[in-house]
A and B are shown apart, each in its own frame.
Chain A
Amino acid sequence: MTNPVLDAIRSRRVVRAMTAEPVARSTIEQILDAGRWASTAGNRHLQRFVVTDHPATLRVLRMVSPGMIQRPTAAITICVDRAAAARYGYAPTAGGLFVDVGTAAATLMLATHSLGIGAGPVSSFSTAAVGVVLGLPDGWSPQLILCLGHAAPTQPPPFSPRRSLRWQDLTMWVPTDR
């Protein structure tokens, strides 16, 4: 018996080459709707999603994002609302805020994959420049850009040869003798 959720988790890949075909606005909205279901610490929802499918904005966003290999037709920038976080008593460097960014990104990427769209996360960008390009409100700190687009038939080779990791390679049981 197949499990569609596990199948989606196993078949998702980072897409680093995208066609010029736009992603429908309704599809982007479905992806964003999935994102709001991502779990957050204390159900606080301190992440903000800044979206663009505007070609000129995407072009400049790519110029200030060295990690953006692909040319996306839409992008969701996940930000942390630091002002809201401070009101909860979070220190600026609190790790939990970034865990929630990762959880949101994973949820968005799975939703994107399930809709037949490619996604590629980018964390190498100038936060200062991205803030200017997207006109972010004070206190919104960009943490990750999720590039969206239709996957091109040919993808660039990955960073290093693909390793076949087993879950056991990443796991330690406690106690170890059971």
Chain B
Amino acid sequence: MPTAWVLDEDDALELLAFLITAARCQVDEAAEYGPMRLLIAAHRLAESIAPRCSEETRTLVSGTMQQMPLLAVPRDDRDGYVARLDDLCRAVAEHLTVRYEAGTAQA
């Protein structure tokens, strides 16, 4: 399946800088910030690719993903936090399964 370029150099550099500097920051920061930083990176990636990606991927990154609050941390309601992340993981897996026809019998 041919795929379109969805990230330009500026967007990619911004994400690259975020990930590298977040790695450095995390050495000194509270452990609960780890998943938050990764989700912020995911949100930024989603924001960057949404205008150019397929309709199906856009539904994932602009709809389902937005249900996970940007600044959520596993602090007061750890079970609820994990449940929401699991829901998001399932939604990603469902999208990937359909997109790449995973799990279907090969002829």
Contact = CB atoms under 8 A, between A and B. Distances in A.
Contact of A69 (B20, B22, B29, B71): B71
Given A67-B25, A126-B25, A157 B71 contact: yes
Interface in B1-16: 13-14
B76 interface: yes
Contacts of B71: 16, 69, 156-159
Instruction: Place the interface of chain B in its size category.
Output: 20 to 34
Interface in A93-142: 124-126, 128-129
A161 interface: yes
Interface residues of A, number: 18
A55 interface: no
Contacts of A160: 73, 75-76
Interface string B22-44: 10110001000100110010000
Nearest to B41: A66
Given A156-B69, A157-B69, A66 B37 contact: yes
Task: Give the interface SS of chain B, mostly helix, strand, loop or mixed.
Answer: helix
Contacts, number: 50
Contacts of A67: 25
Nearest to A161: B76
B106 interface: no
A156 B68 CA distance: 11
A64 B17 contact: yes
Contacts of B33: 124
A103 B40 CA distance: 29
A9 interface: no
Interface in A67-84: 67, 69
A65 interface: yes
Contacts of B40: 66, 69
Nearest to B18: A66
B93 interface: no
A125 B75 contact: no
B69 A66 contact: no
Given A66-B37, A159-B71, A125 B21 contact: yes
A4 B66 CA distance: 39
Nearest to B14: A63
Interface of A: 16, 63-67, 69, 124-126, 128-129, 156-161
Interface of B: 13-14, 17-18, 20-22, 24-25, 29, 33, 36-37, 40, 69-73, 75-77
10 contacts: A63-B13, A64-B21, A66-B22, A124-B22, A156-B70, A159-B36, A159-B72, A160-B75, A160-B76, A161-B76
